[in-house]
Amino acid sequence: MAYELSGKIKLIQDPQTFESGFTKREMVVTVEDGKYPQEIALEFVQDKIALLDALQPGQEVKVSFDLRGREYKGRYFNNLQGWRVDVLSGDGDGGNSGETHYPEPSDFDDGDIPF
């Protein structure tokens, strides 16, 4: 199941590698939800942890994620597993947004048009 959320990065944890070779990294995003903002923890695994390398707390992001659930010893757990991050704005480098920006017609003057 694919979902999206938008908010401000509060925290990016260091990667964790387990004996099995499994690697994960978590990020917390604060989502404005009326009177009570929500702090949502998202998990990035294996090759997707690299998506967090260029990000910094304070940046506004849109995160695409899947909802995962499993049972372990009679208990049930849910994870939000991120697979894409688009920077919307913030204190980061600004040039690494993951979004494609196309020029607007107003970006050109008559000297830029080849015909």
Can you list the residues of the chain whose pLDDT is less than 70?
A: 1, 90-115
Per-residue confidence (pLDDT) for residue 33, from 0 to 100: 84
Among residues 68, 20, 72, 71, the alpha carbon closest in space to that of 42 is found at 68
Per-residue confidence (pLDDT) for residue 94, from 0 to 100: 43
Per-residue confidence (pLDDT) for residue 99, from 0 to 100: 44
In tens, the pLDDT along 9-42 reads: 999 999 999 999 999 999 999 999 889 999 999 9
Separation of alpha carbons 63 and 22, rounded Å:
22
Query: Could you tell me the CATH superfamily of domain 2-112?
Result: Nucleic acid-binding proteins (2.40.50.140)
Per-residue confidence (pLDDT) for residue 93, from 0 to 100: 47
User: In the chain, where are the structural domains located?
Assistant: 2-112
